[in-house]
Amino acid sequence: MSHLVDFDDQPIIDVWGQLVRARRIEGQRVTVALVELAPDADVPGHVHEAEQLGVCLTGSIRFTIGDEVRELGPGGTWRIPSNVHHQATAGPAGAVVIDVFAPTRSDWDTLPSHPASPASWPGRG
């Protein structure tokens, strides 16, 4: 496996159906994901072992992490500790975000996936 890859060349994973899709780059202990959220897409409340850090690239997203709620636009970031309940809703224009998870999101291995195609992030399709 190459150490230098493009997100556009990665399979598309239906993380929360067709409204929330991701492409990931896996390391030994970390996952970096480009996540594309359709307008008004909901990420239902959930928890996972992986710590999660992220940044909004385009659009907007409203996060609830524990008891904290905030609307984030481009440049807005989040930190979700391991096993903390969280949920999110994309804004009316959708959102494109980068998420980083440690440990890796091997649970995504069983989700439906599709062949690679250009992503909807800055400077792309």
Per-residue pLDDT of the chain (125 residues; tens, 9 = 90+): 789 999 999 999 999 999 999 999 999 999 999 999 999 999 999 999 999 999 999 999 999 999 999 999 999 999 999 999 999 999 999 999 999 999 999 999 999 999 998 887 676 55
Q: Which of 122, 116, 71 is nearest to 98 (CA)?
A: 122
CATH number at residue 69: 2.60.120.10
In a domain, 125, yes or no: no
Residue numbers of the domain that contains 76: 15-107
In a domain, 116, yes or no: no
In a domain, 64, yes or no: yes
In a domain, 39, yes or no: yes
Using alpha carbons, list the distances in angstroms from residue 79 to 9, 85, 105, 116. 27, 12, 16, 28
In a domain, 50, yes or no: yes
In a domain, 123, yes or no: no
Using the CB atoms, write b or e for 70-103: b if 16+ within 10 Å.
eebeeebebebeeeeebebbbbeebbbbbbebee
Give this prediction's pTM: 0.94
- The total number of residues written for the chain in this structure: 125
In a domain, 103, yes or no: yes
Domain total in the chain: 1
